[in-house]
Amino acid sequence: MSQTEVVSSQWPQVETGRVVLINDGKDEGKLAAVVQIIDHKRILVDSPHIERQAVQLSHVSLTSQVVTKLPRAARSGVVEKYWKEANVDDKAASSTWHKKRASREKKRALTDFERFKVMVLKKQRRFEVRKAVAKARKSS
């Protein structure tokens, strides 16, 4: 599993410093670090990309990445320092789920004509692949 892949069973891995992906609200799609556990359903998160806030665990996905040695209830400046030391943004940008998410967003932003062009290119690729397979099959 890559450094920032999303972990399926969430609650046992909740800890200070755990990097989470926010799935709901105005900061949807952004990463943050758990600063403090409020109760069994809510956590306090902070990062250089969002403002410090309490979120429900049901509105976040935990990643396998942890900002190590982050003190509990650290202020925003401290969180930003540890965030940069851990290279969270670089590791997240190189992860497969981040690339897949960016691809999905790109597809959603296509216009009708752009979707048509993609369909035509897929048909052309499929035709070439089938032609190559048939040629290989015939020669063997």
Q: What is the DSSP string of 78-104?
A: HHHHHHHHTTHHHHHHTSHHHHHHHHH
Residue 43 has pLDDT above 90, yes or no: yes
What is the model's pLDDT at position 84? Answer: 93
What is the model's pLDDT at position 11? Answer: 60
Question: Lowest-confidence range among 1-5, 14-18, 53-57, 67-71?
Answer: 1-5
List of residues 6+ apart from 58 with CB closer than 8 A = 41
What is the model's pLDDT at position 10? Answer: 53
What is the model's pLDDT at position 1? Answer: 45
Residue 4 has pLDDT above 80, yes or no: no
Q: How many residues are given for the chain?
A: 140
Please state, in angstroms and rounded to a whole number, the distance separating the CA atoms of residues 30 and 23. 8
Q: Which CATH number fits domain 11-101: 2.40.30.20, 2.60.40.420, 1.10.10.60, 2.30.30.30?
A: 2.30.30.30
H or E element in which residue 130 lies:
helix 112-139
pLDDT tens for each residue of 77-134:
999 999 999 999 999 889 888 899 889 999 999 999 999 999 999 999 999 999 999 9
pTM beyond 0.85, yes or no: no
Angle of CA points 17, 86, 88, to nearest 5°: 80
What does the mean pLDDT of the chain come to? Answer: 89
Residue 12 has pLDDT above 80, yes or no: no
- Sort residue 25 into left (φ over 0), alpha (ψ -120 to 50) or beta: left
Of the candidates 34, 47, 43, 52, the residue with the CA atom closest to the CA atom of residue 84: 47
φ, ψ of residue 24 in degrees (nearest 5): -150, 150
